Amino acid sequence: MSVSKSHPKSKRKPGDFIAKHLLDIPRSGIRDFFDIVSSRKDVISLGIGEPDFVTPWHIREQAIFALDRGATTYTSNRGLLELRQAISTYVGEMFGVKYDPETEILITVGVSEALDLAIRAIIEPGDEVIYHEPCFVSYAPEIRFAHGVPVAVSTTRDNGFRLTRAMLEKKVSPRTKALLLNFPTNPTGATLTQADVEDISAFAIEHDLIVITDEIYSELTYEGGRPSIAAVPGMKERTIFLHGFSKGWAMTGFRLGYACSPPELSEAMMKIHQYIMMCAPIVSQKAGIEALKTRTDTEDMRLSYQKRRNFLCAALNEMGIPCHVPKGAFYVFPYIGDYGLSSKEFALRLLDEENVACVPGSSFGECGEGFLRCCYATDIEEIKEATERMARFVKRLKGSSSSST
């Protein structure tokens, strides 16, 4: 029997046990907004960050078949070799860079895990990581979990939220170790040109940086190709390429991603992965093998998204909300800064008055202020209704601002 010892100091409350570096990290702004939205009824949501398609049937059917055959075990830590081979072929064909399935590909639980592994494998306390904003909400917190220092580069709408070498040069320091890229970008839908990618590669080589490139939206590129920095000569050895099945194949719930990198880096990530995760779920891996057998699934969905993107951009511009036409992902990022409201106020009033949910741009970094993120992976009939409501809302805002001035 244990005997409780008396402690000289006053006892810690539950909150006192929390690691200090965690306390400084704010909750995701999206989470707060989610709580407000989910308390309401009959909301049309353009605030969702995942496909509205259900995973194509042949992939689901294969997952069912795998379960039927008793696929309920662990796999090797790296993941099923057959899946790694399929990924090697796919990445080679689509991105023009060849990875060895035995030593350079690691299957993970979504790209989220792959990103965490990549950062933890390379970052030491105090190392700076440059990333571009507005961006996916996880980047800065994950860098800080690894005791790194996130350094944000602001991108702007005047060049379609592209990232240029000149912007990066302003932020680089002797402590900079890594550059984190996400193109096509959530939330702006920005893409890079081949020239951009080559410029950024030259920057990374000159400053001796490693690049982590999260290309989860690459199948959803509508114009201008999908150049990957990993394919630029001299970049494979300093790049960790992250990809997965969630967006292109509408497989978010399968939680299946992968990291491709030189063997030494892959082994380092593998070390963390084997201790914290063991392996990705086997049923998801079996589904992933099936997903890579055809190339038509992603293309059909891409064409469907493209029409909805065109519709949403046209409708927003017509109602007086300026909106650049993003070349990738499934978000538009319109400018609402001319209405005298912060992006959060705008989003809350839009929700309150018209029951349409869009995510405030400020959730994706300071330079996202003045913008909204609207996701068009939503039924076209809902997008139509949402844009009619938004047009009504904007008309009222214009009326009230002109009468007050």
Of 21, 27, 28, 225, the residue at the interface with other proteins (CB under 8 A) is: 28
In whole angstroms, the minimum distance from the beta carbon of 200 to other proteins comes to 25
Contact status: 142 vs other proteins (CB under 8 A): no
Contact status: 167 vs other proteins (CB under 8 A): no
The answer to whether 215 touches 242, Cβ cutoff 8 Å, is yes
Of 109, 315, 332, 397, the residue at the interface with other proteins (CB under 8 A) is: 315
Nearer residue to other proteins within complex by CB, 195 or 314: 314
Contact status: 148 vs other proteins (CB under 8 A): no
The answer to whether 68 touches 296, Cβ cutoff 8 Å, is no
Instruction: Select the span of 45-53, 125-133, 189-197, 224-232 touching other proteins (CB under 8 A).
Output: 45-53
Contact status: 297 vs other proteins (CB under 8 A): no
In whole angstroms, the minimum distance from the beta carbon of 185 to other proteins comes to 13
Contact status: 43 vs other proteins (CB under 8 A): yes
Contact status: 247 vs other proteins (CB under 8 A): no
Of 311, 348, 388, 398, the residue at the interface with other proteins (CB under 8 A) is: 311
Instruction: Select the span of 98-106, 141-149, 279-287, 309-317 touching other proteins (CB under 8 A).
Output: 309-317
The answer to whether 181 touches 188, Cβ cutoff 8 Å, is no
Contact status: 303 vs other proteins (CB under 8 A): yes
Contact status: 25 vs other proteins (CB under 8 A): no
> Tokens 């999260």 correspond to what residue?
214
Contact status: 49 vs other proteins (CB under 8 A): yes
Alpha carbon 94 to chain centroid, angstroms: 19
Nearer residue to other proteins within complex by CB, 123 or 383: 383
Of 81, 194, 314, 340, the residue at the interface with other proteins (CB under 8 A) is: 314
Of 48, 71, 97, 341, the residue at the interface with other proteins (CB under 8 A) is: 48
Among 192, 167, 164, 155, residue whose Cα is nearest residue 333: 155
Of 329, 359, 394, 397, the residue at the interface with other proteins (CB under 8 A) is: 359
Residue window 382-401: x/- pattern of binding to other proteins, with contact defined by CB under 8 A? --x-----------------
In whole angstroms, the minimum distance from the beta carbon of 363 to other proteins comes to 8
Total binding residues toward other proteins, as defined by CB under 8 A: 28
In whole angstroms, the minimum distance from the beta carbon of 400 to other proteins comes to 27
Contact status: 50 vs other proteins (CB under 8 A): yes
Q: What are the residues binding other proteins (CB under 8 A)?
A: 28, 30, 33-34, 37-38, 43, 45, 47-50, 52, 136-138, 186, 303, 307-308, 310-311, 314-315, 357, 359, 380, 384
